[in-house]
Amino acid sequence: MKRHTLLFLLLVAAFASCKKFEDFQINPNNPTIADPSLLLPAIERTAFSTISADAALASRYLVYTQSVSNSQYYGWQRSGMGYGNISQVVKMEQEAARTGKKNYRYIGKFLTSYFIVGMTQTFGDIPYSKMMQSIRFNNVTDTAAIRPAYDRQQDVYRGVLDELKIASDSLSAAELAVTGDLVYAGDIEKWKKLVNSFTLRVLMSLSKKEGEASLNIQQRFSDIVSNPTKYPLLASNADNGRLPYYDITGNQYPYFNNNSMKTDYYLDSTFVDILQELQDPRLFVFGKPTPSSNLPANDFDAYDGLRGSASLAQNTAKRGAGNASQINDRYSYQATNEPSVLMSYAELQFILAEAVVRGWITGDADTYYENGIRASLEFSNFNNTYETADINDYLARPVVALQPGNEIRQIITQKYISMFMNTGWQPFYEQRRTGFPAFDVTGSGILNGGVVPKRWMYPNDEFLNNRVNVESAVKSQYPGGDDINGVMWILQ
Amino acid sequence: MLSLLLQVAAFAQNVTVSAGANVTVTGTVRSASDNTPLIGVSISVSGTNRGTTTNVDGKYSLSVSRDAVLVFSFLGHVTQQVPVDGRTNINIQLQPGGSDLAEVVVTTALGIKKQQKTLGYAVQEVSGETMAKTKTATALSALTGKVAGLNINNTTDLFRNPGISLRGRSPLIVIDGIPDPDADPYKLNADDIESISVLKGTAAGALYGAMGVNGAILYTTKKGGRGKLVVEVNSSTMFQPGYTVVPEVQTVYGGGDQGKYAYVNGSGGGTEGGGWIWGPKLDQRDPSTPSGFYETTQYDSPIDPNTGQRIKTPWVSRGRNNIRNFFRTGLLSTNSVSASIGSEKGSFRVSASHIFQKGVVPNTELNNSSFSIGGNYRLSPRLTMDAKLTYNREYSDNYPTVGYGPPNYLYNLILWIGPDIDIRDLENYWIPGREGLQQRNYNLSWYNNPHFVANELLNGYKRNNSFGQVTFDYEIANNFTVKFRNGFNQYSTNSELREPNSYVAYDYISRGNYSTDVANYFDINSDLILNYNHQFGKAFKINVTAGGANNYRRYESAYTTTDGLTIPGFYAISNSINPLKGSNLLRERRTASAYGMLDIETFGFLYLSLTGRYDKTSTLPIKNNAYFYPSAGVSAVLSDVLTLPKAISFLKLRGSWAKVNTGFINDNNPYAHIFTYNIGAKWNNVPSLGVPSQFISPDLVPETVLSGEYGIAAGFFQNRLNVDVTYFRNKDYNNFQPVTLSQASGYGSIQKNANVYLRKGWEFMLSGTPVRNKDFKWDAAINFSSIHRWLKESTDNSDGYLGLVKEGQRTDRIYITESRAPDGQAIYNSNGMQAYTPIGQYFGHSDADWIYGVQNTFKYKDFSLSFSIDGRLGGLIYSTTNQKMWWGGTAKGTVTSYRDDANAGQNTYVGPGVVVTGGSVEYDAHGNITSDTRKFAPNTTAVNYISFMQTTSGGMLNNYHYYSGTYLKMREVVLTYNLPERWVKGKFSSASVSLIGNNLFILSKIPNVDPDAESDNLQTPSMRSLGFNINLKF
């Protein structure tokens, strides 16, 4: 019997050594609560990572030679939405409320506004006033929450402008410090500058809606510019809203060691023409001389581009003959290259110059314009390729100086040059708004009937998950259906 | 008698010494056809080496334990297994014919042995003997084609697990009664396997609970038997001397683009053509050059010391045999030895094996060693113990990386090295003077030198497995027993990656890296099982089993990697340039269960089995973490009660129903029901968290499979011909699935219980003995099966769709976005390139219509020849290899005059198909065409052939690279010669020599790749294996 007792004990031991079921209800690998400073970095990375080769193809800076690119030939269809980014912001705001760290909330308002503007520029009407209810209220059952209604684009913009004002008015250095900030290291004054400058960008993007009383664009614009104490603006390149890169795996320049960037991206000939016409030394830091050229790298004639609208075969043939300039090596061989910019001081200066020309504010357009050009040249001066004297020479060129009647074209063209491989799709949207510079669509490779698209189709997941609302948004905006050539409200 | 039989059979896996004193059994064996005594019938005790034969009167006498199972086998007759059941006299009639459906005993859930005829569900048993001589890297592969409903996808890559699906799902693996959730197919020594039992349905696996919801594969390993010492040596050597399928690349054009190529510095840009294989034609005469051939600068062209410029060298097809020149002959060598002995009190068996596999890729190999010891002992007259422990070690200093991408040598060899480059020249893979720092290759932006990858990019892997069990059986009364079983699986792994300086990946060139990933796993299963049986009168017998179980598992891992290496080639964690990166994991899971089974036999032909199981699991919220599931099975052996036509010797109908719940949302993550932050990447060493886009419902309940299975088994002509047909229908509901929301809600999806699916299928088995006489016997077996899955209900979408799939449609639909006219012709854009639709369009199905296997065995005197053929019919397989070959320029089909025209700068190629000349087409959100007023005209836009292929991969010429998966493969041929007894007498008890061929040839519709794996993401060429096996028993 003793043996059997032993057996019984063994049995008891085997069952008794177990943990209780309640003990397994905590995931030991991932946290469930967090300080907002742990959520901010990933959101900033998304918002401030603006470097996009596709945007450069669509904006006629670059030409792609590996295959027919839909960005370059305007054959695109749908784009994706970015509400997942706003979800991160909402969660950060919730953690900010929990911990009493208010500044995160207002930085969050800016970031949400930035993501929303990006989406409405892409599609037109989007969900705004009814968005984020599932994550905000843990409501995953009500139709109104899981299938949010769309807002008209003008209402989206009004909401964004109001939110940006709240953010600027409420950010305060007296509140608890912001940490985990990859952009401004917790400098609240700089955040205010970015929020205000970005507000001016949004207002300028509405230039076709100057007369829209509900938005009151000019008034809002001058309210900010006329009160620099309350509404400080970016004051130099040091204030740029940017994300620097580091020589740590995963933190490097996005096209560092990118195989395609090393072999398949060439300057667009229309872009080369602009730079050559202006004798712009930024050509030397944007591109590299053609293989067939024996001229020095600082000779404008050492450069030639491919034509974005030409057929792939024409472009690959010209490349194969050694007659095309690749993008500069720094974009794929330098681990840190240059920071990614959400909004630069230079861009702000060009906005102010344009506002003067449009009569929204008073001031000296030439000064704003030259400040912008100088800041851009300084920002792009990789490895001190050119001297300060070169910058001064450039500014002194008659072809560069603002000419009466041509101001908008010149300002936008300079803004366009300053945004090479930076600031995301902003140059494309500026061109869409102003028509400058003209994007070449005359080559034989062009798609979309030879027209530059005005937008992207809504993502298919909205038709699957929010059909009634997206279909009604399409119907109310675009008589031709959800089409890439539809003209959204801000462009009408 | 049958209930007793059931009771005893229930413990047959431990029977050898389990209960009671020995009895001496005597009896007579007669032929069932004419009742004459059979002389020389071999009688063995199951699970042992003991046995005897009948004398001239057909009589035998044997001393065995009360609960032993006797196996009567005789040439030309059906082997019969008969439990002794305490009897002292057993007279047997042997049926002439092949395998007998009436008396076969199989292993079922929890290791309980049952007569197959009593089962309401499908179980197929494969003898270990069948696999002993077909040497494959894993025991699992040897099952290919042999079991209806079991689909094994054999990969051609070294040290990769074969895919396994049973009725479309991944089954539970069980070794000697202990579930093996990790299911490492390499850890079991094939020579240790006594038999494999495949429990096909949900009902069959119901007693395993949630783990067995997809059926189970039960391995039973060999045990020692009473009697004298038996030593067995098995040795085989297989070579891989040739290719069953190897990609055939063009050898006419070299690297470059648009027919141009001139090497500058290896950056790939400019005149180097971006890394394409669309360069100039090779071997072109040019009288103006020194060599007489067209010349250009190449990566190995000499540099003129005066100018510093490269001197042009002839552009010739020196690499036309690159693939064959790179690979080497593979080798699979298996050696095993085992010894067993037993006495009245107990027995034991020890075994050791070693498998060495030399890969066809240079510098790749795999070692696999196993040791096991097991035995049993009668501790007291009523208490017996059985235990087994196995240790296994898998280790490889380097095994190849697979899949499309830079670390795969095939990526660099088949797709992105043109025939202008001789792979043998790249054996010097460092740039002189920069050894250890910079690899030597013709393109340094995109590609790696395959020899550099093989010799310097090293995947090391070591794994130590141990597993085993201890079982106690106690007989409380003659019809009441208790069993207590504890089993465990443990492994520890260490995976290392050594990444050399200058190794190229996408968006990445290595500064050297070293990473280690160590993991520890442990699980323990404890079962306490009570069994009671009773007979009421003559026609009613019951057998009751009740048990409790506890299952616990724990997995821990830690991953550490450097970010760059300070000292090149010094692979140590401490050598990192930047701060180390790492992560670790802990996963624990527990399930507690109670279960019961009631078997009832009535009227001598009707068998009913009811089971129930109650599980409580840690993987669900506490409020919903306990659940019950029942099953019922019924079997009616009609041939035992009805008078059937003489041709029908056996007829059985069966049916079973089960409802099984599972609380395991994700087998690899026991915390999948808990909503947490994700841990994000660091930026400049600042940490970050993120919110998952998937919300997790707090109201999750278990997922459920409701299964019904119906079958018929029949034997004809004294069971010379056997037929077995099964139909099953599984309804899967309350599935753990993400239900998508508008992302504007804040979540992209919610993990909840949703949607209803149906899985239905047929399984047919046909086996028999077409020819049988004194010296010659031919056994044949054919099986074929089909399984498909349908969406029955989309529970969260009122429009009846789930994504693009509509209720009632199969779930393996393939959608493509290449635009096609209603007649299937490609539609082109104004630029002459393929047009695309804004939403996927239905293109076909990916599941096989049928899979099939055919086995034949011919025995003539001491020779036996067996071969196995299998394959699949229908279903589409996407081939990355073929797509990339057309895209990159290495496909043979690209050798056309259009390509020459493109090289000459002319646009002459007109894609076959149409353009839209007017009208428009509208789609709804599910891709259905709602209106179509398009008018078409033939495409006439001539384009550059090379640009066309670079943009379209020639999809429209090749069914968009979805190829028919139909194939027929000669899986294995084994010719065995059993050395005559007079030769081996006094030296061996038996000896045999076999010649083996595996993977001999294939007939298939897909070019360049082997469809066996049912997918292709740049696979290793399929190799033919030839070799021999020697088996000696002392």
Amino acid at B729: R
CB B918 within 8 A of CB B911: no
User: Which residues does chain B have within 8 Å of residue A135's beta carbon, measured at their own beta carbons?
Assistant: 691, 695, 745-747
Closest partner CB to B747 (pick from A3, A18, A87)? A87
User: Which residues does chain B have within 8 Å of residue A249's beta carbon, measured at their own beta carbons?
Assistant: 508, 563-564, 578, 581
User: Which residues does chain B have within 8 Å of residue A68's beta carbon, measured at their own beta carbons?
Assistant: 831, 833, 947, 951
CA B216 to chain centroid, in Å, comes to: 14
Rounded to the nearest angstrom, the minimum Cα separation between B197 and chain A is 28
Q: For the structural domain made of B1-96, what CATH number should be given? A: 2.60.40.1120
Give the rounded percent of residues in chain B with a pLDDT score beyond 90.
66
Structure tokens at B154: 């054999």
Q: Which tens digits make up the pLDDT trace of A224-237?
A: 999 999 999 999 99
Is pLDDT at A332 greater than 80 in this prediction?
A: yes
Structure tokens at A346: 């230079």
User: Which residues does chain B have within 8 Å of residue A325's beta carbon, measured at their own beta carbons?
Assistant: none
Confidence at residue A168, expressed as pLDDT on a 0 to 100 scale: 97
Confidence at residue A17, expressed as pLDDT on a 0 to 100 scale: 53
Tell me the angle at which helices A102-123 and A153-170 cross, rounded to the nearest 10 degrees: 160
**Domain ranges for chain B:** 1-96
> Band of the pLDDT at B396, cuts 50, 70, 90?
very high
Interface test with A, best of B310, B624, B742, B830 (most A CBs within 10 A): B742
> Band of the pLDDT at B76, cuts 50, 70, 90?
low
CB contact under 8 A, A259 and B472: no
Q: What is the rounded distance in angstroms from the CA atom of residue B819 to the CA atom of residue B825?
A: 9
Beta bridge partners of B1027: B238, B996
Residue ranges making up the domain that contains A421: 51-77+236-453
Confidence at residue B3, expressed as pLDDT on a 0 to 100 scale: 37
Is pLDDT at B15 greater than 50 in this prediction?
A: no
Rounded to the nearest angstrom, the minimum Cα separation between B8 and chain A is 23
Q: What is the rounded distance in angstroms from the CA atom of residue B320 to the CA atom of residue B291?
A: 19
Structure tokens at B586: 């802990």
Structure tokens at A292: 């067939």
CB contact under 8 A, A262 and B268: yes
Asked if A293 is an interface residue toward chain B (Cβ–Cβ < 8 A), one would say no
What Å distances lie between residue B790 and B401, B725, B813, CA to CA? 35, 22, 10
Integer-rounded Cα Rg, in Å, for chain B is 32
Q: Which residue has the tokens 């996808």?
A: B153
Give mean pLDDT, residues B184-193.
87
- Whether residue A459 lies inside any domain: the answer is no
B735 or B122: which leads in pLDDT: B735
Interface test with A, best of B278, B743, B928 (most A CBs within 10 A): B743
CB contact under 8 A, B746 and A132: yes
- Whether residue A24 lies inside any domain: the answer is no
What Å distances lie between residue A169 and A230, B92, B358, B405, CA to CA? 8, 99, 71, 51
Pairing outcome for strands B113-115 and B51-53: unpaired
> Band of the pLDDT at B18, cuts 50, 70, 90?
very low
Asked if A404 is an interface residue toward chain B (Cβ–Cβ < 8 A), one would say no
Number of domains comprising chain A: 1
Asked if A324 is an interface residue toward chain B (Cβ–Cβ < 8 A), one would say yes
Asked if A294 is an interface residue toward chain B (Cβ–Cβ < 8 A), one would say no
> Band of the pLDDT at B985, cuts 50, 70, 90?
confident
- Whether residue A262 lies inside any domain: the answer is yes
Rounded to the nearest angstrom, the minimum Cα separation between A146 and chain B is 5
CB A44 within 8 A of CB A181: yes
Closest partner CB to A322 (pick from B270, B508, B592)? B270
Structure tokens at B276: 């394409």
Pairing outcome for strands A241-243 and B540-565: unpaired
CB contact under 8 A, A259 and B507: yes
> What is the CATH number for A269?
1.25.40.390
Give mean pLDDT, residues B240-261.
93
> Band of the pLDDT at A11, cuts 50, 70, 90?
low
Closest partner CB to B741 (pick from A140, A248, A264)? A140
| Closest A-chain CA to B832 | A445
Structure tokens at B781: 């077996």
Confidence at residue B717, expressed as pLDDT on a 0 to 100 scale: 87
| Closest B-chain CA to A9 | B484
Coil, strand, or helix at residue B66? Answer: coil
Confidence at residue B133, expressed as pLDDT on a 0 to 100 scale: 64
Interface test with A, best of B745, B799, B815, B951 (most A CBs within 10 A): B745
Give mean pLDDT, residues B163-168.
86
Confidence at residue B98, expressed as pLDDT on a 0 to 100 scale: 45
- Whether residue A378 lies inside any domain: the answer is yes
- Residue A70's closest CA among B153, B25, B817? B817
Main-chain phi, psi angles of A477, to 5 degrees: -105, -40
Q: Which tens digits make up the pLDDT trace of B683-709?
A: 999 999 999 999 999 999 999 999 999
Amino acid at B216: A
Asked if A311 is an interface residue toward chain B (Cβ–Cβ < 8 A), one would say yes
Q: What is the rounded distance in angstroms from the CA atom of residue B843 to the CA atom of residue B820?
A: 10
- Whether residue A123 lies inside any domain: the answer is no
- Whether residue A250 lies inside any domain: the answer is yes
Q: Which residue has the tokens 């007369």?
A: A211
Q: Which tens digits make up the pLDDT trace of A43-77?
A: 999 999 999 999 999 999 999 999 899 999 999 99
CB contact under 8 A, B271 and A465: no
Asked if A15 is an interface residue toward chain B (Cβ–Cβ < 8 A), one would say yes
Q: Which residue has the tokens 């929890």?
A: B110
- Whether residue A355 lies inside any domain: the answer is yes
Confidence at residue B496, expressed as pLDDT on a 0 to 100 scale: 96
> Band of the pLDDT at A289, cuts 50, 70, 90?
very high
What number of residues does chain A have? Answer: 492
CB contact under 8 A, B563 and A249: yes
Interface test with B, best of A3, A21, A261 (most B CBs within 10 A): A21
Q: Report the mean per-residue pLDDT for chain B.
A: 89
Is pLDDT at B20 greater than 50 in this prediction?
A: no
- Residue B405's closest CA among B442, B447, B451, B364? B447
Rounded to the nearest angstrom, the minimum Cα separation between A234 and chain B is 25
pTM: 0.89
CB contact under 8 A, A134 and B695: yes
Confidence at residue A13, expressed as pLDDT on a 0 to 100 scale: 52
